[in-house]
C-alpha cells in the first residue's frame, strides 16, 4: 500500500474478484456457468431426439402435432428440473468455498482467538477443496502458534529489569525461548559466536536453530537451540526467533551498561569517601604545624620587626582558614557538625570580622536596622561565614565599596546582607556557586579553594538558617544574605 493511502473498504475487498479479467468483458460467475452447463446437458439430448423424431414422422403424419407438443412439454419440464438441480449443485459446490472465504476473512480481520485458529476448517473428501481446507487449517494453526510465540517474546521483554545481571538475564531468556518456541533445549551464549560450532540438520533427529545476539551493531553472542524432529520450522519461525534474539540482546546490552554504571558509581562513592578521609586527616595534621609557624613568626616579629615575618603570619592565617574549611567540609559531609545555640548581636561580629580582614583601602559601611534583635546560633561558625563573604566581596568586588545591612524579617529571622559594587555574578554561575570546589567561570583555576560559599551555606543550615545569593535587581555587584533565627530584645 502506498504511503499515506487509506485501507480499502471491507465490502469493496469482498466484492473484488480474486482473478483479474484483462479483457474487461463481462464474465459469468461460477454459479451461472454451472447452471447453464447443467441445463444444456439435460435439454440438448432431448432436443436432438425430438428433432430426429419430427423428421422421421414427416409433416403429413397426423401424430406429428401431438408429438411436437409432447416434446415441448418434456423439454420445458427437463429445463426446469435441470435448473433446480443445477442451483442445488452450485450451492452445494460453492458452500466450502464460502466457508473458506469467511474463515480467511475472520483470520485476516483478527476476530478469531487462538482456540478458533487452532480448530481450523474441516472439509470432507479428497479433492482440491478438501486440500485447500487442510492447507487453511495448517496456516491457521501456524498463525496461532506464532501469535503465542510473539506473546511470549513480549512477556519476556516486559519481565526484564535493569538491575538483573546479564548472565542471569540470558539464562532466563533461554528458558523463555524453550517454553515459547517448544524447543528441546536452548542456550544464550555471550561471547564470540565463532566459538560456538554450527550444527548440521540431520533428517530424523533434532533440528538445530541459531540466531545472533546483536545490539547497536555490536555482537554480544549467539542463541542456539534444538527442536523436535517433527516440528516444522519455516522462514517465518526463524524470523520470530531472530526477533526474539534481537530484543533480548537489547535487554542484555542495557543490563551490561547499567551494571557498568553501577560499578562506576560505587567506585566514585568509594573514591569520594577516601577523599573525605584524606582531607580530614590532612586537616588535622596541618593544624599543629600551622599554629607553631604562626606563633614563632609572631615571637620573632616582636623581637625584631620585619615585614617578611608579617607576610608569614598572614599566609599562615590564610592557610589556617583553608584548613578550617576542609575540617568543616568533612564534618558537614559526615553529618557530625553540631553548632552551639547562643544569643548574640551580629553587628559586633561583622565589625570584628571586617577589622580582622585588614582591607583598609576598601570602603565599608554597616547599617544596623535590627532594633536590638539578637541572632541565635554559633558565633564561631557565624564568624567563619562572615570571613568567607567579606573576603569574597573584597576579592571579587574589585575593591569597590562594601555595605552590610542587618534587619528583621517576618519577626522570626534576622537577615544580614553583604553587598559589593563590583561586576556581580553571571547567570551561568548563580546556580553553581554553592557547590563544592566551584569557582566563577571567569576566575582562574588556582584562585581560592572553591569551598568558601559551600562551607558558609552548610554552616548556616546547620544553625537553622540559610545563605542565599540575592536576585539581580539592577544594582551593581553581588549581594549575599545570611538568615538566622532571631530573638526579640528582652526575651528570656
| Domain count for the chain | 3
- Domain with 129, as residue range(s), is 28-140
Q: Are residues 240 and 366 in the same domain?
A: no
Domain assignment present for 295: no
Per-residue model confidence (pLDDT) at position 246: 86
In a domain, residue 460? The reply is yes
C-alpha distances out from residue 263 to 164, 170, 419, 460, Å: 14, 20, 45, 35
Task: For residues 249 and 347, state if they share a domain.
Answer: no
Cα 237 to chain centroid, rounded: 29
- Is 281 among the domain residues? no
For residues 229 and 122, membership in a common domain is answered with no
Cell 590564610 appears where?
318
Q: What is the secondary structure of 268-300 as a DSSP string?
A: HHHHHHHHHHHHHHHHHHHHHHHHHHHHHHHHH
In a shared domain, residues 348 and 472: yes
**Does residue 147 lie within any of the structural domains?**
no
Give residue 126's pLDDT.
66
pLDDT at 442: 56
d(CA 446, CA 374): 38
Q: Are residues 107 and 182 in the same domain?
A: no
Which of 384, 324, 375, 325 has the alpha carbon at shortest distance from 357?
A: 384
User: Based on the domain organization, do 130 and 174 belong to the same domain?
Assistant: no
Task: State whether 97 and 167 are in the same domain.
Answer: no
- Residue 445: predicted pLDDT: 46
Whether 384 is covered by a domain: the verdict is yes
Which pLDDT score is estimated for 440?
Answer: 59
Would you say residue 94 lies in a domain? yes
Which pLDDT score is estimated for 467?
Answer: 92
Residues 243 and 187 in one domain: yes
pLDDT of residue 484: 93
Residue 300 maps to a domain: no
Q: How far apart are CA 392 and CA 418, in angstroms?
A: 10
User: Are 257 and 349 part of one and the same domain?
Assistant: no
Q: Are residues 362 and 411 in the same domain?
A: yes
In a domain, 399, yes or no: yes
Name the DSSP letter for residue 5.
Answer: P
CATH code of the domain covering residue 436: 3.30.565.10
Same domain, yes or no: 80 and 120: yes
Instruction: Collect all residues with Cβ–Cβ distance below 8 Å to 427 and sequence separation of at least 6.
Output: none
* 171 & 238 share domain: yes
- Written in H, E and C, the secondary structure of 110-121 is CCCCHHHHHHCC
- pLDDT, block means (10 residues), the chain with 492 residues: 41 42 58 78 79 70 74 82 81 73 67 51 64 69 70 71 82 85 88 88 87 88 90 84 86 88 89 75 73 80 81 77 72 74 91 86 92 90 90 88 91 91 82 73 54 86 90 84 87 51
Amino acid at each position: 500500500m502506498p504511503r499515506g493511502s487509506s485501507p480499502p473498504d471491507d465490502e469493496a475487498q469482498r466484492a473484488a474478484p480474486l482473478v483479474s479479467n484483462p479483457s474487461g468483458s463481462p464474465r459469468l460467475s461460477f454459479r451461472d456457468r454451472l447452471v447453464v452447463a447443467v441445463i444444456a446437458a439435460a435439454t440438448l439430448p432431448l432436443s436432438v431426439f425430438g428433432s430426429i423424431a419430427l423428421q422421421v414422422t414427416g409433416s403429413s403424419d397426423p401424430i406429428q402435432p401431438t408429438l411436437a407438443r409432447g416434446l415441448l412439454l418434456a423439454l420445458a419440464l427437463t429445463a426446469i428440473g435441470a435448473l433446480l438441480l443445477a442451483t442445488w449443485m452450485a450451492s452445494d459446490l460453492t458452500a466450502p468455498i464460502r466457508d473458506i472465504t469467511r474463515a480467511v476473512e475472520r483470520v485476516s480481520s483478527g476476530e478469531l482467538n487462538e482456540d478458533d485458529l487452532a480448530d481450523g476448517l474441516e472439509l470432507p473428501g479428497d479433492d482440491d477443496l478438501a486440500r485447500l481446507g487442510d492447507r487453511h487449517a495448517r496456516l491457521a494453526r501456524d498463525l496461532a502458534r506464532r501469535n503465542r510465540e510473539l506473546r511470549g517474546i513480549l512477556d519476556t521483554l516486559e519481565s526484564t529489569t535493569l538491575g538483573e545481571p546479564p548472565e542471569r538475564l540470558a539464562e532466563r531468556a533461554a528458558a523463555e525461548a524453550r517454553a515459547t518456541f517448544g524447543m528441546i533445549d536452548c542456550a544464550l551464549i555471550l561471547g564470540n559466536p565463532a566459538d560456538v560450532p554450527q550444527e548440521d540438520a540431520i533428517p530424523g533427529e533434532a533440528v538445530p536453530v541459531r540466531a545472533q545476539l546483536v545490539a547497536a551493531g555490536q555482537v554480544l553472542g549467539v542463541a542456539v537451540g534444538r527442536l523436535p524432529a517433527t516440528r516444522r520450522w519455516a522462514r517465518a519461525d526463524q524470523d520470530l526467533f531472530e526477533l526474539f534474539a534481537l530484543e533480548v540482546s537489547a535487554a542484555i546490552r542495557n543490563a551490561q551498561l547499567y551494571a557498568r554504571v553501577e560499578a562506576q558509581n560505587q567506585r566514585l562513592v568509594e573514591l569520594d569517601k577516601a577523599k573525605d578521609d584524606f582531607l580530614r586527616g590532612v586537616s588535622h595534621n596541618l593544624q599543629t604545624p600551622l599554629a607553631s609557624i604562626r606563633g614563632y613568626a609572631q615571637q620573632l616579629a616582636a623581637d625584631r620587626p620585619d615585614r617578611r615575618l608579617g607576610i608569614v603570619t598572614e599566609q599562615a592565617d590564610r592557610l589556617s582558614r583553608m584548613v578550617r574549611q576542609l575540617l568543616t567540609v568533612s564534618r558537614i559531609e559526615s553529618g557530625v557538625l553540631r553548632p552551639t545555640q547562643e544569643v548574640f548581636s551580629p553587628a559586633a561580629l561583622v565589625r570584628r570580622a571586617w577589622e580582622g580582614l585588614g582591607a583598609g583601602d576598601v570602603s565599608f559601611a554597616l547599617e544596623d536596622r535590627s532594633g536590638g534583635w539578637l541572632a541565635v546560633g554559633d558565633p564561631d561558625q557565624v564568624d567563619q561565614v562572615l570571613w568567607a563573604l567579606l573576603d569574597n566581596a573584597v576579592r571579587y568586588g574589585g575593591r569597590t565599596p562594601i555595605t552590610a545591612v542587618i534587619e528583621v524579617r517576618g519577626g522570626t529571622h534576622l537577615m544580614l546582607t553583604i553587598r559589593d559594587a563590583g561586576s556581580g555574578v553571571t547567570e551561568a554561575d548563580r546556580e553553581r556557586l554553592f557547590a563544592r570546589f566551584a569557582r566563577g567561570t571567569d576566575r582562574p583555576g588556582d584562585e581560592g579553594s572553591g569551598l568558601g560559599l559551600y562551607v558558609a551555606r552548610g554552616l548556616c543550615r546547620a544553625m537553622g538558617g540559610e545563605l542565599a545569593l540575592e536576585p539581580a535587581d539592577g544594582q551593581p555587584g553581588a549581594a549575599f544574605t545570611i538568615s538566622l533565627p532571631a530573638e526579640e530584645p528582652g526575651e528570656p
